[in-house]
Amino acid sequence: MTPPDARADAVATDNVVSLRPGRRFIPAWTVTGETELAALTTMIMDAADVAVFRAQPSGDLVEANPAFQRLNASLGGSETMAAVPGVRAGVQRCALLAQTVTRPQALEVDGETRHYWLRFVPIIDDNGMVVGVGGACQDWTAQLGRLNSAMLDQARFRDFARASSDWFWETDAAWRLTAVSDRLTGVLGQPTFGLIGKPVLSLGRLEANIAGERPIDRAMLEHAPFRDQLFVLETDVGEAALFHLSGVPMFDDKGRFIGYRGAGMDVTRVYMMEEEARSTRRSLETAMGELSRKNVALDAASAQAQAALHAKNEFLAAMSHELRTPLNAIIGFAEAMQMQVFGNLTPHYVAYANDIVTAGHHLLGLINDVLDVSVIETGEIALTIETVSLANLLDQARSLLVLRAEAKRLDMSTVRCAEDIRVLADERRALQIFVNLLTNAVKFTPEGGRIGVDVGRKGDLVTCTVWDTGTGIAPANHERVFEKFQQCVNDAYHGKPEGTGLGLHISRQLARLMHGDISLESELGQGARFTVALPVAAV
């Protein structure tokens, strides 16, 4: 055997066939006999890791190495019949074309799908005739898996890059772009391949971030990683787009700095919200300052109002005292004239005296109401809380109004308390409450109507409800009737504006000062029910 020759053709001597490896199935060797050729072929095929075979142009196997024999046998083949899918057709195609044929083939081997590359090389004699075909089955399942995995990783990265609002970049040591993701196209409105080689600062400017820092300055000096470097780009529509750049340095195998690689995160909305928040805080601080000034002014005005109210109440109290003295004298002289104490008077003067007495008592009642309100508001009212008989209070109140009720033919027979119930109250003020309520009932109940009282218990309180069959009060005015100077003159409950409108207000305030209350239930046309609640006295 001679070593490989650089010639394109092999030399034939005597009866030895010289092979032409025109398609590079095996190197060109010069052989001196068929026995040596067969031994050489067998040696090469047995030593190969791949499944190698030789076949006739028809497709029948001539010989094969152990790897191919095992593969072929697992698929049901024999020594002369190739059962490996694609082998027979590949051999015939290679022989027909007289050129190398390569094709992929997926095989089911031992219940597992394996991937092979099938390669067919024609064997040509000196006359240029194809006398056989050499083939190989290269298992590349593992390589294909790694290739698919790498392609999947690349596809996943591309999908992440497209789906993300971030863009990815890479620069050289001079801060020139060497790679950039397509996401930046949507921002700048130009293809990214045109950006390669451009300085990063030609695209935008570096500014201090929201914390007032420029982390890239120190990182560039030390070739260190950095984060949250504000980078301002101008979009294709002339608007500012804000990004936080984060990068890590790259070094070659000798440790030399070769550039940066990183990402740009869109923070435009974050900075807009921060600016809005700052503007809101500034507005709020301004509003708080203004509110503080107004509160100071309001406190001063409130103090002035309190002082004015106190002065008013003191004035009303003083005037009420001053007015009652001459008014009592007027009423006394008028009553003396009415009774003709100093001699007979003509009927005209008696009538005048009656009018003076009536008007005087009415005016005295108004003055007393104003005085009560002034005393209550100044907190100077003195109450003597003691055990009081509710029956006695109702009897006294009824006796003061019975004549007025009889004049209107009103039935007051149920204005009484049959039980011996005692309450904790100031007797004079409690009587004033019931007189006020019964006065209103008599005043606003039509002739022939009825007025009564229902007594009950509610926890630690005694409830005494003064009811009438008058025209009632609209629900919208239930709270209004307890306000000062509110007479509800348009309500059916009030036929005309008599008095000051202070009676119910005074009554409720007195009840509350005695740890009780007054409530109202009424509908138009169904009368009214004023309920006085006072603490029950211990037996």
**What per-residue confidence (pLDDT) applies to 42?**
60
Q: State residue 209's pLDDT score.
A: 92
Per-residue pLDDT band at 340 (split at 50, 70, 90): confident
Report residue 26 as tokens: 């095996």
In the structure, what pLDDT confidence band is assigned to residue 193 with cuts at 50, 70 and 90? confident
In CATH terms, are 164-266 and 277-379 the same topology?
no
Could you tell me how far CA 346 lies from the centroid of its own chain?
89
Cα–Cα distance, 342 to 181 (Å, whole number): 121
What confidence score (pLDDT) does residue 239 get? 85
Calculate mean pLDDT across residues 360-364.
Answer: 73
With b meaning 16 or more CB within 10 Å and e meaning fewer, what string describes 372-406?
Answer: bbbbbbeeeeeeebeebebbebbeebbeebeeebe
pLDDT at 317: 64
Q: Worst-scoring range by mean pLDDT, 273-282, 326-335, 389-398, 470-479?
A: 326-335
Residue 165's pLDDT band (cuts 50, 70, 90): low
Calculate mean pLDDT across residues 443-457.
93
Read off the pLDDT of each residue in 269-296 and give the average, rounded to a whole number. 89
CA distances from residue 486 to 362, 363, 502, 505 in whole angstroms, order as listed: 18, 18, 7, 9
pLDDT of res. 342: 80
CATH code: domain 164-266 is 3.30.450.20
When mean pLDDT is compared over 345-349, 487-491, 527-531, the highest value belongs to 527-531
The helix-helix angle for 427-444 and 390-407 (nearest 10°) equals 30
- What's the mean pLDDT in 262-272? 89
For residue 495, pLDDT beyond 50: no
Residue (of 404, 406, 469) closest to 435 by Cα position: 404
DSSP letter at 105?
E
Mean pLDDT on 410-433: 91
- Residue with the larger pLDDT of the pair 5 and 230: 230
pLDDT for position 119: 94
- Strand 411-414 to 450-458 pairing: parallel
- What pTM value is reported for the model? 0.42
Question: Taking Cα atoms as reference points, which of 369, 373, 422, 372 lies closest to residue 394?
Answer: 422
Which pLDDT value is given to residue 491?
A: 46
Domain ranges of the chain: 34-141, 164-266, 277-379, 386-535
> Residue range 161-183: average pLDDT?
82
Position with higher pLDDT, 160 vs 270: 270
253 pLDDT higher than 60? yes
Give mean pLDDT, residues 229-236.
89
Return the pLDDT at 496: 47
Q: Kindly tell me if the per-residue pLDDT of 395 is higher than 80.
A: yes
Task: Indicate the class that CATH gives domain 34-141.
Answer: alpha beta
Decide which of 340 and 477 is more confident: 477
Instruction: Give the pairing type, strands 177-180 and 167-171.
Output: antiparallel
For residue 452, pLDDT beyond 70: yes
Q: Say yes or no to pLDDT of 245 above 60.
A: yes
Listed in sequence order, the residues at least 6 apart from 240 whose beta carbon sits closer than 8 Å to its beta carbon are 232, 233, 234, 268
User: Which pLDDT tens digit goes with each residue over 11-66?
Assistant: 333 333 333 433 333 333 344 555 555 555 565 555 556 899 999 999 999 999 99
d(CA 81, CA 55) in angstroms, rounded, equals: 10
How far is residue 362's CA from residue 369's CA, in Å, rounded to a whole number?
11
Mean pLDDT of the chain: 82
SS3 content of the chain, % helix, strand, coil (to 5): 45, 25, 30
CATH dotted code for 386-535: 3.30.565.10
Confidence (pLDDT) at 484: 78
306: confidence class by pLDDT, cuts 50, 70, 90? confident
pLDDT at 351 (0 to 100): 84
Which CATH fold would you assign to the domain 277-379?
A: Helix Hairpins (1.10.287)
- H-helix segments, 408-499: 427-444
